[in-house]
Amino acid sequence: MNHHDWTHGVYAITDAGLLPDDARLIACCEQALRGGLALLQYRDKSTDDAKRWRQARELATLCRDHQVPLIVNDDTELALRLRREGYDNVGLHLGQDDGDLTEARRRLGAEAIIGATCHGRLELAERAARQGASYLAFGRFFVSSTKPSAPPAELSLLGEAAVFGLPRVAIGGIGRDNIQLARRAGAELLACVHAVFGGEDIEARVRTLNRLLAGEAG
Ligand SMILES: Cc1ncc(COP(=O)(O)OP(=O)(O)O)c(N)n1
Ligand SMILES: Cc1nc(C(=O)O)sc1CCOP(=O)(O)O
Ligand SMILES: [Mg+2]
């Protein structure tokens, strides 16, 4: 797939509470894409497979139109099914309990973007890098209303993780007040749910985050 550089910038993650139906999900993601995303993640914890397939496929089409990769959270089978349909812009994000990364890499192929949750632990990052991760996600760094139970991590970890030579994602409470802090600590990708989808005028919200990342005042 021809896509923009996905290794730097705003990484938006969907939330079924904030985007409760297909129309809102697609309209809000389109606004976010217009604001300029490096990556978009489809994160839906429901067990409604038909809905998940329908929504993920629509998002894959939308992202392809914007030349942005769509990352499917948790679900290797769903990512694989989309790639087999020809959506080569689809990747996968795996947490520590979401299945085997080596196996996912084998099944999705060398080109697919596969990210791994590493919480606040360098040994998890080392293992994920060895197993073929494309990026390493650390967090949560700040208070997250989306996932208050996520274990906390120190910003200094981001600098230490440079040793793996993979793009570093910061997640957890990232927004306009702290995005520069996380960037300066070493994160190339700044993952946000609430800061992107938790209010009106999503395109403007993403543009503000991008301006802050570019070092301009928000
Ligand atoms: C970019 C990114 N980083 C971390 C996570 C969290 O993954 P996980 O620990 O599997 O938790 P859930 O998101 O599945 O609740 C993520 N999704 N994306
Ligand atoms: C999905 C997720 N994972 C986290 C982790 O630390 O692993 S924090 C988080 C939620 C991020 O949402 P918000 O930007 O609204 O805080
Ligand atoms: Mg998960």
Q: What is the pTM of this model?
A: 0.98
Count of domains for the chain = 1
Pocket probe for ligand 2: among 73, 193, 194, the residue whose CB has the most ligand atoms within 8 Å is 193
Residue 160 maps to a domain: yes
Residue 144 maps to a domain: yes
What per-residue confidence (pLDDT) applies to 3? 67
Q: From the CA of 135, give the closest atom in ligand 1.
A: 1
Residue 2 maps to a domain: no
Residue 36 maps to a domain: yes
Residues with CB under 6 Å of ligand 1 are 11, 13, 41, 43, 73-74, 93, 95, 98, 115, 117, 137, 169, 171, 191
Comparing CA positions, the residue from 102, 94, 100 lying closest to residue 118 is 94
What CATH number does residue 190 fall under?
A: 3.20.20.70
What per-residue confidence (pLDDT) applies to 1? 60
Pocket probe for ligand 1: among 73, 118, 169, the residue whose CB has the most ligand atoms within 8 Å is 73
Residue 71 maps to a domain: yes
Domain span holding position 85: 9-213
Task: Please report, as a single letter, which amino acid is at residue 32.
Answer: A
Residue 34 maps to a domain: yes
Pocket probe for ligand 1: among 11, 42, 101, 117, the residue whose CB has the most ligand atoms within 8 Å is 117
Residue 195 maps to a domain: yes
Question: 133 CA to middle of ligand 1, Å?
Answer: 14
Question: Measured from the CB, is residue 120 less than 6 Å from ligand 2?
Answer: no
- Residue nearest atom 12 of ligand 1, based on CA coordinates: 95
Question: Measured from the CB, is residue 173 less than 6 Å from ligand 2?
Answer: yes
Question: 140 CA to middle of ligand 2, Å?
Answer: 6
pLDDT in tens, the chain (218 residues): 666 899 999 999 999 999 999 999 999 999 999 999 999 999 999 999 999 999 999 999 999 999 999 999 999 999 999 999 999 999 999 999 999 999 999 999 999 999 999 999 999 999 999 999 999 999 999 999 999 999 999 999 999 999 999 999 999 999 999 999 999 999 999 999 999 999 999 999 999 999 999 997 66
What per-residue confidence (pLDDT) applies to 186? 98
What per-residue confidence (pLDDT) applies to 216? 74
What per-residue confidence (pLDDT) applies to 185? 97
Residue 1 maps to a domain: no
CA-CA distance, 135 to 113, in Å (whole number)?
A: 8
